[in-house]
Structure 1
Amino acid sequence: MTFAIEARDLTRAYGDIRALDAVTVQIQANTITGLLGRNGAGKTTFMSLVTAQDRPTAGIVKVLGEEPFENERVIEQLSFVRDNQRYPDDYKLKHALRAARVFHPGWSQELADELVALFRIPAKTVVKKFSRGQLSALGIVLGLASRARVTFFDEPYLGLDATARTYFYDVLLRDYQEHPRTIVLSTHLIDEMDRLLERVVILDRGRVVQDADVDELRGRAYQVAGRRAAVEEFVAARTALSVHRTGGLATAVIEGTLTEADRAAAVAADLDLSSVTLQELVSAYGFDRDADAGGDAGEALARDAKGARS
């Protein structure tokens, strides 16, 4: 198996805050991977380290088998598009495209032209006057048309409306199938992007809490719902990732494979069992546990505000 990205004990600290804490992960070449987690989980920090835009406090990262720092051979094979991408004040569309074409050896002008027309990106307006949607579209053009061997999208599509996002998903999937490469997507629009993802890495508080194929991950948890007392009794004998209580009712996400014994216990207690979506899983592995811990969520948010990146 060939890995495009390998991180071992990767750590990035900002003072006393560990934005990334001993992360070990391998991302297979020519796959679409979702990098998921709540704000402050460490997603942007991870991508910044892998693309050599920042240096780790500890640990090792390799891209395409080599360390990326000050490695031009690797850097030219990377594309990192983020939501807050900045451009020189005098840049217009043509300048951004020209710079990307020079930097990326696999650049496809044909794909760039197609996307510019699809998203109706203005040619005469300076980029600094673009709307957020136009900036998002430009980032997508640069990321997809680069055809870099490893491409990162750090939520640059948030400024797009639903129709434009669908265009992005369709073109990404089509071009990926025609020109396989490694694509890593950081997103909060998990349900929308479900069909794109082959593998998922979930981060929480700078640590990896799940790293699995999408279908495998869905099989690692299930949901139970019903009367609050019955749900709490069911949960007491199992590992609950999250529990939501509303009046006399409750819903819980349970970690583990659903067994026949689980089914029988649920039927006996008049509880409903169902599968979980990726969105529900990410929520369960992150914020929900903070909320159930009795107030730690506020502390976590305060910590994020002090400087834990991404």
Structure 2
Amino acid sequence: MSLTVSKVDKSYGKLKALDEISLCFEPGNIYGLFGRNGAGKSTLCNLMTGRALPDQGLIHLDGSDLVSDSRIVRRVALVNETWPYPSRRHIRQAFAMAEGFYGDFDWHLAESILKSFALRLTDTFASLSTGQRQVVKDIIGLCLPVEYLILDEPTTGMDAAARERIYSFLLEAYQRRGPTMIIATHIINEVSQLISRATIIHQGRVLRSFSVDDLSALGNTVTGRPRDVEGYLAQGDPQLLSRQRIGDLLRVSFEGPVPDEQPKGLIVAPMDLQTYFVQITEGATQ
């Protein structure tokens, strides 16, 4: 029941949005999909839900071609900046339309989320703020009986408290029905506790794909006197990501295993997910 992307290309005129992207999203996980603006995240999200067609390559769900089998589209859903329902109708009607296409809408969860945000089924989409509109779009995605739910920037326009509430309901929806979720966002550290795997794309290509549990073995920083730092790194064969002088000290970010021996006076620490993302995408750009 995996969602697989195999050697997919997509261009818009002379702009190459995706370049031989290959990925596999296994069921039962919450994935993070990260990339800088223009990296190809939204294009990939559209392709994986049938809202756009690849120029080359294949996208399969459980072995069936997403492009040629229209029934597959009902098993995946995308929440993004678009609103495909009448804006001046009641929210209730949008929920009913979504249920008409996908079936078995979770009305109990929908009303619980609406109440948490002081919204009503009789509100119209057109009357809402940007953040409230995003909440309503998220509700539709979280309440659908799909196998794969793709959320492209699901907290647009929300303040920190609202984002935390949405993340809580996201986990509740995951526990209730267990859809595989793919969250494309630039607020990386906020979702780092939700996801089990992360994929970083850069300039239309997959830069890294890894288990979040392995992050401490992937990216680290070492800080200390330059001679000690250089000696420490010489114990292994790390891939250096950046070097920064801080007064008399040197801080180096690197990928690879941490050497066993740590001289006194050095500070070695794993990077958080957002720092790791920034370091490797900056390195790939240079």
Q: TM-score, normalised by structure 1?
A: 0.83
3-state secondary structure, aligned to 1:41: coil
Q: Does residue 285 of structure 1 match 2:283? A: no
- The equivalent residue for 2:57 is 59
State how far apart, in whole Å, the 1-side matches of 2:279 and 2:252 are. 9
- When residues 244 and 141 of structure 1 are mapped into structure 2, their CA distance, relative to the original with a 3 A threshold, is farther
The answer for the alignment partner of 1:46 in structure 2 is 44
Which secondary structure state, in structure 2, belongs to the residue aligned with residue 219 of structure 1? Answer: helix
**Which residue of structure 2 lines up, in the alignment, with residue 9 of structure 1?**
7
Amino acid at match of 2:270: S
Q: What code does the residue aligned with 1:220 have?
A: L
Report SS of the residue matched to 1:156. Answer: coil
Between 222-231 and 12-21, report the one with greater CA deviation: 222-231
Contact 2:104 2:145 in 1 (8 A): yes
Which residue is 1:112 aligned to?
A: 110
Q: 1:99 and 1:243, CA in 2 relative to 1: closer, same or farther beyond 3 A?
A: farther
Name the structure 2 match of 1:25.
Answer: 23
Show structure 1 runs of 5+ residues with no match.
Answer: 294-310
Residue number in structure 2 paired with 1:68:
66
**Cα distance in 2 between the residues matched to 1:30 and 1:15:** 37
Provide the rounded CA distance (Å) in 2 between the counterparts of 1:36 and 1:113.
31
CA distance in 2, matches of 1:246, 1:39: 30
Match of 2:201 among 194, 203, 221: 203
Matches within 5 A, 1:64-103: 64-85=62-83, 87-103=85-101
Tell me the secondary structure at the aligned position of residue 4 of structure 2. Answer: strand
Structure-2 residue corresponding to 1:224: 222
Distance of 2:157 and 2:78 partners within structure 1: 17
**Root-mean-square deviation (CA), in Å?**
2.3
Distance 1:138 1:131, change over 3 A: same
How far has the Cα of 1:46 moved from its partner?
0.7
Deviation, structure 1 residue 169: 1.3
* 2:259 equivalent in structure 1: 259
1:141 positional shift: 0.5
Match of 1:149 among 126, 147, 150: 147
Preserved contact between residue 242 and residue 252 of structure 1 (Cα < 8 Å): yes
User: Could you tell me which amino acid in structure 1 is paired with residue 255 of structure 2?
Assistant: E
CA 116–234 in structure 1, closer or farther in 2 if over 3 Å, else same: same
Tell me, what secondary structure is at the counterpart of 1:258? Answer: coil
- Superposed displacement of residue 289, structure 1: 4.4
Counterpart position of 1:303: none
The secondary structure found in structure 1 opposite 2:64 is coil
User: 2: CA distance between counterparts of 1:218 and 1:71?
Assistant: 41
* Aligned counterparts of 1:161 and 1:151: Cα–Cα separation in 2: 23
- How many residue pairs get matched? 284
Does the Cα contact within 8 Å between 2:18 and 2:40 map onto a contact in 1? yes
Give the counterpart letter for 2:252 in structure 1. A
Q: Deviations for 1:56-87, whole angstroms, at most 9, x for unmatched residues? A: 11111112321112533111111100135454
Secondary structure of 1:97's aligned partner: helix
Which stretches in structure 2 are left out of the alignment for 5+ residues?
none
Give the corresponding residue for 1:137.
Answer: 135
Instruction: Give the whole-Å Cα distance in 2 for the aligned partners of 1:166 and 1:89.
Output: 26
Tell me the secondary structure at the aligned position of residue 146 of structure 1. coil
SS of aligned partner of 1:209: strand
Letter in structure 2 aligned against 1:276? M
State the SS of the aligned residue for 1:251: strand
Q: Distance in 1 between matches of 2:121 and 2:92?
A: 7
Deviations 1:122-142 (A, max 9, x none): 444431232111111111111
Greater shift in the superposed pair: 280-289 or 181-190: 280-289
Distance in 1, matches of 2:203 and 2:231, equals: 29
CA contact (8 A) 1:241 1:289 kept: no
Q: Secondary structure at the match of 2:113?
A: helix
CA change 1:249–1:20 in 2 (3 A) is: farther
Q: CA deviation at 1:252?
A: 2.9
Aligned-pair CA distance for 1:21: 0.9
Tell me how far apart the structure 1 counterparts of residues 64 and 244 of structure 2 sit (CA, whole Å): 45
TM-score with structure 2 length normalisation? 0.90
Cα deviation, 1:197-239, whole Å, max 9, x if unaligned, reads 0111111111111112111233222112245676578668631
SS at match of 1:158: coil
3-state SS, counterpart of residue 223 of structure 1 = strand
